[in-house]
A and B are shown apart, each in its own frame.
Chain A
Amino acid sequence: MIKTVYSKGKLVAKTGNEVMAEAMRQIEPDVVAAYPITPATEIVQIFSQFVADGVVKSKYVAVESEHSAMSATIAACAAGARAMTGTSSQGLCLMWEMLYIASGLRLPIVMAEVNRAISAPINIHGDQSDTMGARDSGWIQIYSENSQEAYDNMIQAVKIAEKAKLPTMVTTDGFIISHCMEVVELYPDQDVKTFVGEYKPERYLLDTKKPYTLGSIDLQDYYFEHRYQLAQAMRDAKNIILDIAKDFEQSFGRKYDLYEKYKLEDAEIVIVVIGSAAGTAKVVVDELRAKGVKAGILKIRVFRPFPVEQIAKDLAHVKAIAVMDRADSCSGAYAPLYSDVVSSLYSAGIVTPKVENYVYGLGGREINIEHIMQIYDNLGKIASGLQKPSSQVEYVNVRKK
């Protein structure tokens, strides 16, 4: 029987895109500038309808490209507005230059991002190549397993961005979540508004009483200090994210962390994964646990900042780990999540777990229970010494010839 977690919550059947738009309606930012792109189109389409119907007082700026969408969002935020946007894939790519401007100027923009493959070849389906490419852009990245998390993450993102003074993107897996209708618990408008609060920037360009310069040239004398401060802000954001998760739990009852530990405490074989595949992996873990196999999951919620110290602690006892990446770095080495997990372990002096890297699901390629079961099967053999861990990236459900 479906039930609410929050006493005033309301259960609805909605898609990932619909609940992200719903969160934006409740947040009611001052400005939204966006250019629609599949599979994120509905988010801005629904929101622009809210604006047209007078449901929200937000200003909607229809722009001619994603570069302009991010530029206009940056300008609005710099002027002192609470500003949001949404995009996906090629759209995020076209924003690239401006992503770094947003973080470099320390503007707390919130962006709904629907993960989708990048061309070429042309593909509109879900993978995480787009945001993984933006992982060094100085944006906080929060990934969602399902629509409920997408909604909850959007609400928290506003407070996180404004407290950390860092732009923040919240993602869902394209089509798999963005277009999947599920049961989601929505909270009353007023309760969300109270939680998010009013945006009171310390400094903003339209504050004529306290004029200041933003975005000026910054050469050998101070550029490095500003970039250091940005990197440090990202490190400091971990505690901010945890504090806001605590506030969120107190307000609405749902518990969030930098990552989710699913039957991890006593697990011997563990999958580290991001996004919707974690939900499928949970079904596999339940089946394995019923047979007495100590399987677990570590699901990354916050990828930037990366929870390096915490992860090392929580994975130290594990015998064999499979890090699953829905993006490939084409680096000649390993995929993004694997590199971060391994450096977390190694830098903490933890070298006992055997760690493999699996790339899966590019361009929306199916990842199902059988695929994940096979990975746990490999991990079981590695944990018991029957099999050596692979020393290269393994690809799931791909034709190599």
Chain B
Amino acid sequence: MSAKMIEVRWHGRGGQGAKTAALLFAETVMVTGKYIQAFPEYGPERMGAPVQSFNRISEDPITIHSGITSPNYVVILDPSLMESVPVTDGIGQNGKIIVNTSFSPKEIASQLNINEAQVYVVNASQIAQETIGKNIPNTPMLGALVKVIGTLDINRVLEDTKTKLTAKFRHKPEVIDGNIASIKRAYDEVKNQ
């Protein structure tokens, strides 16, 4: 596998939009000129059950079609999953984990028993509540992921998301502005110390 390939694993609960987040993330990253994959893990589909979805990003065409077992980045939409799902599986010493939480990186690192340098936190639920008016953390977590990856252009991501949301929510401009603001805020607020 190309060393330049980036692999991401999303953890959420059924209904939280982990699948949508992976799809939306892939679409927006494609607009920045990269090859992408987004795929969900399919199991019994129940509201609230732990679910995963995945992304690959590469400068070169992606031909691999196996599952992702050693992700570079792990995004956790629901912090309660850290108690029941092995969210750190396969991240090794260099993988980074981004958690939607009000706790500090130090506290999360200690809970997950990993290096503090690997942990990033952002209170995506609060951001979503304040910008979109609902606890839907998947959109702000996109912004946090873009920031932590570091090589993606946030302005292109925001532009593209706006275009997509505009097509979908023509009659609800407040939804569009709220989502864009949530991505921007999470991008600015995600931190690892």
Interface residue ranges, A against B (CB under 8 Å): 1-2, 11, 13, 124-125, 145-146, 173, 175-177, 179-183, 276-277, 279-280, 282-283, 366-369
Contact = CB atoms under 8 A, between A and B. Distances in A.
B66 A366 contact: yes
Nearest to A281: B63
A136 to B, nearest CB: 28
A282 B63 contact: yes
A369 B5 CA distance: 15
Interface of B: 1, 23, 26-27, 30, 33-40, 42, 59, 61-67, 69
A280 B42 contact: no
Contacts of B62: 182
Contacts of A176: 39, 65
B64 A279 contact: yes
B167 to A, nearest CB: 13
Given A280-B65, A283-B63, A366-B67, A2 B30 contact: yes
B42 A124 contact: yes
A327 to B, nearest CB: 17
B65 A181 contact: no
A183 B64 contact: no
Given A11-B30, A369-B1, A183 B63 contact: no
A181 B27 contact: yes
Given A1-B59, A283-B1, A183 B65 contact: no
A180 B39 contact: yes
B22 to A, nearest CB: 8
A2 B32 CA distance: 9
A368 B66 CA distance: 5
A389 to B, nearest CB: 26
B63 A2 contact: no
Contacts of A280: 63-66
A265 to B, nearest CB: 19
Nearest to A11: B30
Contact of A1 (B27, B33, B36): B33
